[in-house]
Amino acid sequence: MHSQAHEKPAHLLIETVARRSYGKLLAFVATRTHDLAAAEDALSDAFTAALIDWPRTGCPANPEGWLLTVARRKSIDYHRRRDANAESLDERIEQALSAAVPESDIPDRRLALMFACAHPAIDESICAPLLLQIILGLDAATIASAFLVSPAAMSKRLVRAKEKIRTCRIRFSLPEREELPERLYAVLDAIYAAFAEGWADPAGTDPARRPLTGEAIFLARVVTELMPQEPEPLGLLALMLYAEARRSARRASTGEYVPLPQQNTALWDLTMIAEAEVVLQHASGLGRIGRYQLEAAIQSAHVDRIRNRRPNWDQIIQLYDALFELTQSPVVALNRALAISELHGPEAGLREMPDVSSDARLAGYQAFWAARADLLARVGYHGKARHAYDLAIGLERDASVRLFLQQRQAALHS
Amino acid sequence: MQYLLMLYADESGWTRMTPEEQTRGMEAYRAYTEALQSSGAYVGGNRLRPSGTATRVRANNDKTQVLDGPFSDSKEQLGGYYLIEAPDLDSALSWAARCPGAHHGTVEVRALWT
């Protein structure tokens, strides 16, 4: 029958459009009204209408334009209903929503929307979830699992953040030049937070988390395309590509955790690494160094293993020095100490380790205890190493990393 | 705020494990308890005897009934618990995610009433 012939391609197209253009459509509908929740409803109605119409009547030539037209109509209906008592709907809103847009050329306002989501008035911890929902259309339950938050609480926080954007009329616009660097970092940090949550599931066994690394890379690409002159978005993109390129090497075929030094470089994705190198070079060509470029450069020095069989530790230590200058982060200090131990031995590494009393966050940081345990074991302090392993194991979320640490611990002499 | 982490798992899974796997499993719980203790989150916790040893008591209409077996015959049974101190639900959830029980079963997190 007619409808069956259309069904499959229609669903496929709707999925593709949702993936490619969700944020663009939402940004366009919400820009004037500032009402993200209403725009989401309107857009969701439009997608529902497409799911009913397209399989029956065939796919429109311009699917985005079709969806936008329906979403705008729904949005106007919604605002009319809500403001039924008011004399008329704000004319500017009505005009903006119904104004004809060249259908093939929907202006891309995603960047402005991202800046609104990462506005200082919005709670920092909700920025990454908000970006995932607003730009990519992920649902609250998926986001909640990824960030280890209860779905009800995540939903509530997302609603509250959108409400704040609407009631405070946070502008959907690019920040002024002087506040751009700081505001841009808020956007980039949120993207990186989303990546890190996906990265925490290296085996890719958790379907709720695995796509997050890909989604974060997609978001970074959007920012680099819309702000081609800014080096740090490129730095972030390169950093994530280097990391993602090693995904399949992080687990043995039998599922065991494989630490970076033991990874089989043949499993690294060379195409992705090559892209990362090009992106990073392009970033440094713009002549303004920043922490994401430094972090990406460290990854690049690790990748030297492909060419010279060992990472470039001298360079890695220098880069960590620069990064520590910039961030004063105990995590950077920890990684710097590990790099030093590679070059000058475990005693030197232990001496450079940040002190757990210097920063309370370290006490609950799994990687700190795992690194400390390893260095202590290599120096021969097996009792202290055993205790550090206990904490590293107890703080670990990933079962195969836990198993790896348990094996290391069991290998200690008693 | 105190939270009760209730560890549900398929009990038969334990008996199917090799002795080495069982030792590693115990060790993982010991390390987890240790991490909870050194962070100050640990209030209490223990492992329960198998659900087959459970007995239910119900007093309806002045008639007390005693029944064998656990409250619900689900695939996963309550096998242990941790009582922890956490500033909010999010940090309780992150402890739950680290619990070895989350990997071979389900950890239910409930806030205490007071």
Convert the pLDDT of each residue in A319-330 to its tens digit.
999 999 999 999
What percentage of chain B has pLDDT greater than the value 70?
Answer: 100
What's the pLDDT at A142? Answer: 84
- In the predicted structure, residue A86 carries a pLDDT above the cut 90: no
- In the predicted structure, residue A234 carries a pLDDT above the cut 60: yes
- In the predicted structure, residue B3 carries a pLDDT above the cut 90: yes
Residues of chain B in contact with residue A406, where contact means CB-CB under 8 angstroms, are 24, 27-28, 31
Is A227 strand, coil or helix? coil
User: CB B94 to CB A150 under 8 A?
Assistant: no
Which candidate in A257, A406, A414 is best for mutational testing of the B interface (most B CBs within 10 A)? Answer: A406
Nearest CA in chain A to B95: A395
Distance from CA of A161 to the nearest CA of B (A): 18
Closest CA to A19 of A51, A83, A64, A65: A64
What's the pLDDT at A96? Answer: 58
φ and ψ at residue B45, rounded to 5 degrees: 170, 155
- Segment holding B57, helix H or strand E: strand B55-60
Q: Does A152 touch chain B (CB under 8 A)?
A: no
- In the predicted structure, residue A4 carries a pLDDT above the cut 80: no
What's the pLDDT at A363? Answer: 87
Neighbours of A193 (CB within 10 A): 19
Q: How do residues B45-74 score in pLDDT, each as one tens digit?
A: 999 999 989 999 998 888 888 999 898 878
User: CB A395 to CB B35 under 8 A?
Assistant: yes
pTM for the whole thing?
Answer: 0.83
Q: For residue A6, name the pLDDT band (cuts at 50, 70, 90).
A: low
What's the pLDDT at A5? Answer: 60
- In the predicted structure, residue A15 carries a pLDDT above the cut 90: no
- Nearest-angstrom CA–CA distance, A15 and A55: 13
CA distances from B3 to A144, A150, A392, A400 (A): 19, 14, 22, 27
End-to-end C-alpha distance for chain A, whole angstroms: 74
Is A328 strand, coil or helix? coil
What's the pLDDT at B96? Answer: 96
Distance from CA of A213 to the nearest CA of B (A): 20
Q: How do residues A27-53 score in pLDDT, each as one tens digit?
A: 988 887 788 999 999 999 999 999 999
- Nearest-angstrom CA–CA distance, A319 and A335: 11
Average pLDDT of span B36-46: 96
What's the pLDDT at B62? Answer: 82
Residue A49 in contact with residue A70, Cβ under 8 Å?
yes
Greater confidence, B110 or A180?
B110
User: CB A391 to CB B38 under 8 A?
Assistant: yes
Q: Does B67 touch chain A (CB under 8 A)?
A: no
What percentage of chain A has pLDDT greater than the value 90?
Answer: 53
Considering only the beta carbons, identify the residue of A150, A397, A406 that sits closest to B27.
Answer: A406
Distance from CA of A399 to the nearest CA of B (A): 7
Is A244 strand, coil or helix? helix
- In the predicted structure, residue A341 carries a pLDDT above the cut 50: yes
Side chain identity at residue B4, one-letter code: L
Which candidate in B20, B26, B27 is best for mutational testing of the A interface (most A CBs within 10 A)? Answer: B27
The two beta strands, B2-9 and B105-111, are: antiparallel
- In the predicted structure, residue A255 carries a pLDDT above the cut 90: no
Which candidate in A149, A386, A391 is best for mutational testing of the B interface (most B CBs within 10 A)? Answer: A391
Average pLDDT of span A214-230: 92
What's the pLDDT at A372? Answer: 95
Average pLDDT of span A72-86: 76
What's the pLDDT at A145? Answer: 82
Q: What is the mean pLDDT of chain A?
A: 87
Residue A257 in contact with residue A406, Cβ under 8 Å?
no
Whether the predicted interface score ipTM is above 0.85: no
Average pLDDT of span A269-282: 96
Q: For residue A1, name the pLDDT band (cuts at 50, 70, 90).
A: very low
- How many interface pairs between A and B have CB atoms less than 8 angstroms apart? 53
What's the pLDDT at A101? Answer: 56
